[in-house]
Amino acid sequence: MEFLRPASWEEALAAKAEHPDAAPIQGGTDVMVELNFDMRRPDVLLDLNRVTELGGWDTAEGRLRVGAGVTYTQIIDDLGGPLPGLAQAARTVGSPQIRNRGTVGGNLGAASPAGDGHPPLLAGDAVIEVESLRGVRMIPAPVFYTGVKRSALAPDELIRAFWMAPATGPQYFSKIGTRNAMVIAVCSFAVALHPAERRVGTGIGSAAPTPLRATAAEEFAAAELDWDGPLDETVAREFGRLVAEAAAPIDDVRGTAGYRRHALAVMARRTLTWAWQDHRAGSPGRGAA
Amino acid sequence: MRVSFTVNGSRETVDGVWEGESLLYVLRERMGLPGSKNACEQGECGSCTVYLDGTPVCACLVAAGQAEGRQVRTVEGLADGDGLAPIQEAFIEAGAVQCGFCTPGLLVQAHDLIERSPHPSDAEIREALAGNLCRCTGYEKILDAVRLAAARKAAP
Ligand SMILES: Cc1cc2nc3c(=O)[nH]c(=O)nc-3n(C[C@H](O)[C@H](O)[C@H](O)COP(=O)(O)OP(=O)(O)OC[C@H]3O[C@@H](n4cnc5c(N)ncnc54)[C@H](O)[C@@H]3O)c2cc1C
Ligand code: FES
Ligand code: FES
């Protein structure tokens, strides 16, 4: 095995072009488990920790550009205001030690359907910036995920950042698990209100081969919600039903398909209700605290 | 490969490190620092918790090469001299140690909590220690130990 430690983004891209099979490693919270348990033996490990650009964020064109190496702890501590849904999801990841190392870029690289970063990225219209020596591609989150642990990333490409507009309305993330820490989601759901566009964004986790949006539920919400009035209970229920219908869950050790569908309908109705209460109160949502 | 980093204040260099090896393995098997424990090797138990550049992490999930040039502090480096650090004293006094396997990781994690948050609430303590498993104590005495250490730090 080779261990490469590029000191800059350009060097990292050159290394990935030369070794398309190289396994990038950031927090290592997925990669090292695979190495420790002999589940993966890449010829080359490509350590990105020295690429300092990846660990920061800035604002461009009115959107946040968050480096692939930004950890969950940083998101919670520093980006909870503009990205409340993602910060809520980050708080549910693993343990403090895992959040200190694990990154959203690594979550995208692993592209697990259970990754907690994905639902809020989907609900918030995130775009993933990937790059190779051939150039930059901007991939909208819904088409980034292509299958179970598969993404649109080409072998010579690396994830540079994700782009997301700062929240203009309340956002919520909800996750089902056996305890309040250290759980892989049985299923999860994120909602984001976009009041200026009178639109609701959604993201479903761990209930289909890929994370996905509940498009029919979003369209229903856009058509039926009265943005100047209280939330109609029947609209909230139908929204939940449509979210559950969008999922394609399976039975596995963590839960049955039927349970997942039921839980999704409940989470979708509840998170929409919470978000609507904040919207009516004119507050940006609990995640901003 | 050769890996070189600062551990508990002293610069150490080891050769012959396998590229896929963890920081935990290097500490325990190559540097003679068996304080950090190896229980799960998958980030679930926290018994390998060390400071990496001042941040608590699972040493089993850091590739050895990622520690190159950085600062590592293990349970062996919590106390200044030959004595014990206040958090270690508190664990003993509160009876928070039974078999002791989880203790090194809990000490580092609790040490970090009290440094960052001198008056932690019970909810904060539970949250901070959520990634550290103990199979013996039932956690109550561990919580007592952290409360004791925090109270002593606040009013020495
Ligand atoms: C104990 C434990 C608990 C966990 N709990 C959760 C949880 O609650 N929720 C959750 O979602 N996840 C959880 N995880 C999984 C993991 O922490 C997350 O997926 C995390 O986001 C991975 O980030 P990382 O930086 O550690 O990734 P790494 O392990 O460094 O990399 C992950 C994958 O992405 C690739 N990659 C990394 N960076 C790039 C890049 N810049 N470009 C292209 N590819 C890249 C790697 O090659 C690898 O395939 C847990 C893991 C552990 C060990
Ligand atoms: S040995 Fe590292 S977390 Fe268990
Ligand atoms: S004292 Fe035995 S595992 Fe905690």
The dihedral over CA atoms of A163, A167, A168, A174, expressed in degrees to the nearest 10, equals: 130
Domain locations in chain A as residue ranges: 1-46, 171-281
Which tens digit of pLDDT belongs to each residue from B120-129? 999 999 999 9
Question: What value does the mean pLDDT of chain A take?
Answer: 96
Going from the Cα of B36 to the center of ligand 3, the distance in angstroms, rounded, reads 13
Contact A24, A16 (CB under 8 A): yes
Other CB atoms closer than 10 Å to residue A11's CB: what's the count? 14
- The distance from CA A136 to its chain's CA centroid, rounded to whole angstroms, is 21
Task: Give the residue on B whose Cα is nearest the Cα of A41.
Answer: B20
Residue B35, pLDDT above cutoff 70: yes
Q: What pLDDT is recorded for position A245? A: 98
Is residue A94 within 6 Å of ligand 1 at its C-beta? yes
Work out the pLDDT band at A284, boundaries 50, 70, 90: low
Residue A41, pLDDT above cutoff 90: yes
Shortest Cα distance, chain B CAs vs residue A118, angstroms? 21
| Same domain for B111 and B58 | no
Is residue A120 within 6 Å of ligand 1 at its C-beta? no
| Same domain for B141 and B90 | yes
Work out the pLDDT band at A285, boundaries 50, 70, 90: low
Residue A287, pLDDT above cutoff 50: no
Work out the pLDDT band at A180, boundaries 50, 70, 90: confident
ipTM value greater than 0.85:
yes
Residue type, position B129, single letter: L
Which tens digit of pLDDT belongs to each residue from A104-126? 999 999 999 999 999 999 999 99
**Pocket-testing residue among A86, A93, A104, ligand 1, by greatest number of atoms within 8 A of Cβ:** A93
| Same domain for B90 and B66 | no
Tokens coding A73: 């702890």
**Average pLDDT score over residue span A200-222:** 97
Is residue A119 within 6 Å of ligand 1 at its C-beta? no
Q: What pLDDT is recorded for position A182? A: 87
Q: Is residue B41 part of a domain?
A: yes
Q: What residues form DSSP beta bridges with A188?
A: A175, A205
Which tens digit of pLDDT belongs to each residue from A235-255? 999 999 999 999 999 999 999
Which tens digit of pLDDT belongs to each residue from B81-139? 889 999 999 999 999 999 999 999 999 999 999 999 989 999 999 999 999 999 999 99
Query: Model pTM?
Result: 0.97
Q: Is residue B22 part of a domain?
A: yes
Q: Is residue B148 part of a domain?
A: yes
Shortest Cα distance, chain A CAs vs residue B131, angstroms? 5
Q: Which among B66, B68, B108 is the top mutation candidate for probing chain A, defined by the most A β-carbons within 10 Å of its own β-carbon? A: B66
**Pocket-testing residue among A1, A29, A40, ligand 1, by greatest number of atoms within 8 A of Cβ:** A29
Q: Is residue B112 part of a domain?
A: yes
Q: Is residue B81 part of a domain?
A: no
Number of domains forming the structure of chain B: 2
Work out the pLDDT band at A179, boundaries 50, 70, 90: confident
A-contacting residues of B 8-67, CB under 8 Å? 18-20, 22, 41-44, 46, 49, 55-58, 60-63, 65-66
| Same domain for B90 and B65 | no
Q: What pLDDT is recorded for position A85? A: 98
| Same domain for B55 and B26 | yes
| Same domain for B7 and B48 | yes
CATH number at B9 reads: 3.10.20.30
User: What is the share, in percent, of chain A residues with pLDDT greater than 70?
Assistant: 98
Going from the Cα of A36 to the center of ligand 2, the distance in angstroms, rounded, reads 11
Ligand 3 atom closest to Cα of residue B99: 2
Could you tell me the residue range of the domain that residue B144 belongs to?
86-154
Contacts by residues A62-65 (CB-CB < 8 Å, ≥ 24 positions apart) = A62/A165, A63/A163, A63/A164, A63/A165, A63/A166, A64/A163, A64/A164, A64/A165, A64/A166, A65/A129, A65/A161, A65/A162, A65/A163
d(CA A28, CA A7): 18
Q: Which of B16, B42, B76 is the last residue of a domain?
A: B76
Q: Is residue B20 part of a domain?
A: yes
Q: Which of B76, B95, B115 is the last residue of a domain?
A: B76
Q: Exposed (0-12), middle (13-18) or buried (19+): which is A253, by Cβ within 10 Å?
A: exposed
Residue B143, pLDDT above cutoff 80: yes
Q: Specify the fold of A171-281.
A: Enolase-like; domain 1 (3.30.390)
Map B69-97 to HEC letters. Answer: CCEEECHHHCCCCCCCCHHHHHHHHHCCC
- Crossing angle of the two packed helices B103-116 and B86-94, in degrees rounded to 10: 120
Q: Is residue B21 part of a domain?
A: yes
Query: What strand order describes the sheet that includes B71-73?
Result: B10-14, B3-7, B71-73, B49-52, B55-58
Which of A3, A33, A97 is opposite residue B131, by nearest beta carbon?
A97
Which tens digit of pLDDT belongs to each residue from A265-282? 999 999 999 999 999 998
Q: Which of B43, B76, B109 is the last residue of a domain?
A: B76
Residue with the nearest Cα to atom 12 of ligand 1?
A115
d(CA A65, CA A40): 31
Task: Give the residue on A whose Cα is nearest the Cα of B41.
Answer: A36
Shortest Cα distance, chain A CAs vs residue B32, angstroms? 20
Which tens digit of pLDDT belongs to each residue from B43-72? 999 999 999 999 999 999 999 999 999 999
